[in-house]
């Protein structure tokens, strides 16, 4: 800070507190709703203080008996979301660190071509080519399966670029020393490159876990078997009831629970999260 | 495209290392994209048994279809509104946090988490707030004499998805603006302060111009986000309605192709969307290329 102006500092705090309140407001209301009964929520204006049904509502969401509309139990959907997020995270990191290694540390025919094939995926988010991708997945018999849910989302260039950029900054001397010592590429990769990339990998894990957890359109397309529903689909379906009222108290409890894992990851891993975000620029 | 000074001489290994990513990319990215281009020039019979080449017919029809043009215009309105709203809000918060020495970290933590909220959930939360029977905001608006109903009023529905999408995106813009602000050289600010310019003048004459690369980058990323990642928000809240009022392009592709099974038209829409992303990505990459020093 250049000069000390108490009024400006006061104003700064005021802006930030207002910002935090606005940002948190929807989640606060959702939390309130999740502690009330159905009758209170349907009866018009909901109170702005928590009610006494917190434990009751959350147990009802988590217990298998709350499943309706052909939905599986909440825990199964949470498990599916978790599997999806973890497979995407591990798969993406594994394949992109290998391909970045190949592109940076080897010179071979078609290197440029391979680079461009990978690069072009930056331009094709799954949303713009859903129908043909769906067709490929269907033809391969991968509908309603974990591979179908995850593999098409695994290949994307951002992680490859991050690793490529990082490898370029690793001093050449390290590799020369490794070669003088007689270690092959795989040994160099495992003993030197991998340990050096630890923070990058961790940062990417945070970003990719969130990316996997919040997927919606793709699981909506490839899963028709309720056994593979993810949380995001389940929540949407809990609201889209044909007859009768939406069970808002349960929906909001479910939404709060579904928000928790990725939000906790961001808050607890803040430094890694910011690093992963600003370095991949995605 | 550069490699290391020294490289590993190995004729087979690099191909093996590349294979997993290349296979997945070819199978799930390049091939479907090619299929989309191909079927955008074909008409398929209703049973999907045969297809005949029809040239640019789908494109011509789309670009003459008032519904499509309408969707295009709405997408533009939506993208620009969300981008402007979330960037202005993000910048204001970043400037404020950047002023603080000690408490900045706490505020950052309190502001970044919406990034991790799924678009569907963001949609559900705001839908609940604006719900005409139970919503708190709908109630307050009612007190002000505004009868809120996003199920009937197209403008209301559009405002609803703009707010939900902007809410989710603020944290992202905030982080990047904060990073940009922290890289503004302190000596410049101090020199200006010695010359007697106040905080407001300093912000507009020094900080804002220095932030312009960040702003530009964020603009492109945000437009990209609003056009594609907001599918969940639209599907959870308005499902494109009422009367197509919130039927943005990416939702229309899904609607016409997956639900309506109009594959030719949907493919042509996909191809047009891809063209839009390609343009955005090229602009973005040129910028990144210029800024990042390898």
Angle between helix axes B119-130 and B136-143 (nearest 10 degrees) is 40
- For chain B positions 128-167, those within 8 Å of chain A (CB to CB) are 128-129, 133-134, 136, 139, 167
Distance of CA B59 to the CA centre of its chain: 24
Question: CB-based contact (8 Å) between B275 and chain A?
Answer: no
Instruction: Write B37-46 long-range contacts (CB < 8 A, 24+).
Output: B37/B267, B37/B271, B38/B267, B39/A132, B39/B263, B39/B264, B39/B267, B40/B264, B40/B267, B40/B268, B40/B270, B40/B271, B42/B264, B43/B264, B44/B263, B44/B264, B46/B261
3-state helix, strand, coil in chain B (%, to 5): 75, 0, 25
Q: Does A26 touch chain B (CB under 8 A)?
A: yes
Q: Do A216 and B120 touch (CB under 8 A)?
A: yes
Distance CA B257, CA B263 (A): 5
Q: Does A123 touch chain B (CB under 8 A)?
A: yes
The pLDDT, as a whole number, for residue A237 is: 84
A151 touches chain B (CB under 8 A): yes
Q: How close is the nearest chain A Cα to the Cα of B123, in Å?
A: 10
pLDDT at B82: 95
Q: For B126-138, how does the pLDDT look when each residue is reduced to its tens digit (9 = 90+)?
A: 998 888 777 888 8
Give A248's contacts in chain B (Cβ within 8 Å).
128, 134
| A102 at B interface, C-beta within 8 A | yes
H or E element, residue B42 = strand B42-44
Shortest CB distance from B17 goes to which of A44, A101, A210? A101
Contact A122 B281 (CB under 8 A): yes
Q: How confident is residue A95, by pLDDT bands cut at 50, 70 and 90?
A: very high
Residue B49: count other Cβ atoms within 10 Å of its Cβ: 7
Whole-structure pTM over 0.95, yes or no? Answer: no
pLDDT digits (tens, 9 = 90+) for B158-208: 999 999 999 999 999 999 999 999 888 888 888 888 888 888 888 888 888
Higher local confidence (pLDDT), B264 or B109? B109
pLDDT (mean) for A68-90? 88
Q: What is the pLDDT of residue B41?
A: 87
Question: Per residue in A199-253, pLDDT tens?
Answer: 999 999 999 999 999 999 899 889 888 889 999 988 888 887 766 677 888 888 9
Q: How confident is the model at residue B2 (pLDDT cuts 50, 70, 90)?
A: low
Neighbours of B125 (CB within 10 A): 28
Predicted confidence (pLDDT) at residue B291 exceeds the cutoff of 60: no
pLDDT tens figures, A238-248: 887 766 677 88
Q: Nearest CB to A23: which of B3, B36, B114? A: B114
A49 — contact with chain B (CB < 8 Å)?
no
What confidence score (pLDDT) does residue A282 get?
Answer: 43
Nearest CA in chain A to B105: A270
Q: Is A23 on the interface with B (CB under 8 A)?
A: yes
**pLDDT tens, residue by residue, B235-252:** 988 887 787 888 888 888
pLDDT tens digits for range B43-86: 877 666 677 788 788 888 888 888 889 999 999 999 999 999 99
Nearest 5°: the CA angle B268, B271, B275 is 140
Please give the ipTM for the structure prediction: 0.88
Which among A118, A136, A214 is the nearest to B32, CB-wise?
A136
Fold for the domain defined by A72-278:
MetI-like fold (1.10.3720)
The domains found in chain B, sorted by start residue, are 59-289 (1.10.3720.10)
Burial state string for B5-41 with b = 16 or more CB within 10 A and e = fewer than 16: eebbebeebbbebbebbbebbebbbbbbbebbbebbb
């Amino acid at each position: 800070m250049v000069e000390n102006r108490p009024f400006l500092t006061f104003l700064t705090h005021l802006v930030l507190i207002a910002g935090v309140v606005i940002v948190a407001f929807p989640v606060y209301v959702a939390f309130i709703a999740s502690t009330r009964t159905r009758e209170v929520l349907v009866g018009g204006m909901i109170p702005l203080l928590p009610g006494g049904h917190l434990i009751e509502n959350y147990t009802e969401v988590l217990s298998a008996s709350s499943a309706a509309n052909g939905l599986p139990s909440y825990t199964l959907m949470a498990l599916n979301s978790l599997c999806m997020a973890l497979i995407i995270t591990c798969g993406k990191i594994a394949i992109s660190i290998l391909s970045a290694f190949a592109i940076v540390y080897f010179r071979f025919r078609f290197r440029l071509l391979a680079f461009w094939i990978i690069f072009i995926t930056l331009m094709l988010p799954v949303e713009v080519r859903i129908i043909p991708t769906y067709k490929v997945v269907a033809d391969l018999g991968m509908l309603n399966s974990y591979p179908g849910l995850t593999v098409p989302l695994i290949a994307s260039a951002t992680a490859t670029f991050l690793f490529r950029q990082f490898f370029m900054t690793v001093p050449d001397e390290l590799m020369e020393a490794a070669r003088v010592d007689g270690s092959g590429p795989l040994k160099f990769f495992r003993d030197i490159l991998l340990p050096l990339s630890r923070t990058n990998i961790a940062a990417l894990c945070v970003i990719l876990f969130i990316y996997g957890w919040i997927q919606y359109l793709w699981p909506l397309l490839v899963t028709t078997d309720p056994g593979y529903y993810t949380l995001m689909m389940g929540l949407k379906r809990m609201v889209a009831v044909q007859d009768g009222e939406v069970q808002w108290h349960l929906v909001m409890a479910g939404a709060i629970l579904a928000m928790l894992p990725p939000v906790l990851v961001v808050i607890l891993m803040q430094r890694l999260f910011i690093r992963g975000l600003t370095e991949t620029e995605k | 495209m550069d490699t290391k000074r020294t490289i590993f001489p190995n004729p087979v290994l690099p191909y093996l290392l590349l294979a997993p990513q290349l296979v997945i990319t070819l199978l799930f990215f390049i091939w479907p994209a090619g299929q989309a281009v191909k079927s955008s020039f074909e008409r398929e019979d209703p049973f999907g048994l045969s297809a005949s080449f029809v040239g640019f017919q789908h494109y011509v029809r789309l670009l003459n279809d008032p519904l499509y043009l309408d969707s295009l215009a709405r997408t533009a309105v939506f993208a620009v509104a969300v981008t402007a709203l979330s960037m202005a809000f993000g910048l204001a918060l970043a400037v404020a946090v950047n002023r603080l020495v000690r408490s900045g970290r706490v505020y950052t933590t309190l502001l970044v988490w919406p990034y991790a909220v799924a678009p569907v959930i963001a949609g559900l939360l705001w839908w609940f707030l604006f719900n005409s029977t139970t919503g708190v905001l709908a109630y307050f608006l009612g007190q002000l004499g505004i009868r809120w109903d996003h199920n009937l009023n197209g403008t209301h529905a559009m405002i609803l998805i703009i707010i939900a999408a902007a809410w989710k995106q603020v944290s992202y813009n905030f982080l990047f603006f904060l990073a940009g602000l922290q890289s503004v050289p302190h000596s410049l600010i101090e020199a200006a302060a010695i010359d007697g310019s106040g905080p407001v003048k300093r912000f507009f004459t020094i900080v804002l111009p220095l932030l312009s690369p960040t702003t530009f980058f964020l603009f492109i990323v945000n437009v990209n986000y609003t056009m594609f990642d907001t599918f969940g928000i639209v599907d959870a809240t308005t499902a494109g309605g009422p009367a197509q009022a919130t039927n943005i392009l990416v939702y229309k592709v899904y609607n016409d192709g997956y639900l309506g099974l109009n594959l030719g038209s949907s493919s042509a829409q996909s191809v047009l969307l891809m063209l839009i992303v390609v343009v955005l990505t090229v602009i973005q990459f040129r910028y990144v290329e210029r800024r990042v020093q390898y």
